Amino acid sequence: MQIKVSAPASIHAEIQLPASKSISNRALIINALAKGTYTPDNLSDCDDTMVMIKALTSQDETIDIMAAGTAMRFLTAFLSVTKGTRVITGSQRMQQRPIEVLVNALKMLGAEIEYAGNEGFPPLRISGNPLEGGAISLKGNISSQYISALLMIAPVLKNGLKLTLTGDIISKPYINLTLQLMKDFGAKAEWTANDCIEVLPKPYMSVPFKVESDWSAASYWYQMAALAPEAKIELLGVFPDSYQGDSKVAELFVDLGVETIFTSRGALLMKTSRNCERMDYNFINEPDLAQTFVVTCAVLGIPFRFSGLQSLKIKETDRMAALIAELGKLGYVLKEEENSVLSWDGEHQHISENPAIMTYEDHRMALAFAPACLRVPAFTICEPLVVSKSYPHYWEDLSKAGFSIQAVD
């Protein structure tokens, strides 16, 4: 399936953003560990969260989380402390995504986990039991989801957890998000040094909890505001004091000509003058924003050099390679440099004839490329329903904002 997205002359819209997938999935795990009598309110209706809910409520021996990487990491830890033996598996791509670092860490804490397929990769056979816990050390440049998975089970470990992170620590806002949510449910969890987190063996409490809207989803509307000739967009449910690291998007888009005015309902995006001729930024703390800024800067004609992208290679697809390939179809010649750097020096080539943007089973490819139609109208997007992974109503929201969505044979 392919669609062509056509842009309006200007954008005036009020958008109810989806609930945060990151918060929803963490709240579900923590609430389950708390044996909560409440159900978290305003949960995301995206694929990843639906998979998580099903896994936590199903009694099936095999859990298929499909393409949900967050669910794979979080449930691997959760099942390790949950009585019973289960097999957790996923899509073909999921079975190619490494999980050995997390499995080894859990085994150091006493978990019983076996590889049911290739060594180091899902599927996994997990026999859950009470774990002792204790002190372990991990490299700080691994996926923050591994770290969050370990932290969330730490309060139910007999001796809690002392986690030391060595070297550079990437995606730290996601770690802090996890710690904040743990504390909302009564955990005692703190950074005790720049490289050390301690979690006491104190059970979670069952408490009411409401999930806030998704700042990652907001980024695509900032992108549209930057690319449109005229824009006034109100995003409901996002606020400046957010737990989410991706709220940084409001600050980053100032240089790209988008001002944010916070109201009691959310964020009002207003188009202003752009004061950026080149953009250099380290996305080590906000890797999920990388595709948004790569596409935005390219189509605005702003050369860039973005670093801190090492986690992009192990996402739903190799996002570095995907961005190079698909923006290449639109005439932008990107380069991958050493140390996970992606750059564009302004080099153009001929646009491919009838370019079709592949999405590689990656929701953020579709989400980030669609706004490009404001500047590059002649392309289609393949497999657009992939957005259901995080933003199921994206195409409906674009239609409400005046975009035309047409199926292409």
CA dihedral sign of residues 110, 116, 118, 121: negative
Q: Is 288 a catalytic residue?
A: yes
List alpha helices for 257-312, DSSP H. Answer: 290-300
Q: DSSP string spanning 12-43?
A: EEEEEPPBPHHHHHHHHHHHHHTT-SSPPBS-
> What residue has token string 């596409």?
295
In whole angstroms, give the CA distance from residue 18 to residue 13. 15
Residue among 47, 48, 246, 288 flagged as catalytic: 288
In whole angstroms, give the CA distance from residue 224 to residue 203. 44
In whole angstroms, give the CA distance from residue 253 to residue 249. 6
What count of other Cβ atoms lies within 10 Å of the Cβ of residue 272? 14
Query: Quick one: tokens of 83?
Result: 């009585």
Q: What is the DSSP letter of 279?
A: E
| Secondary structure tally for the chain: helices H, strands E | 12, 20
As annotated, the active-site residues are: 288
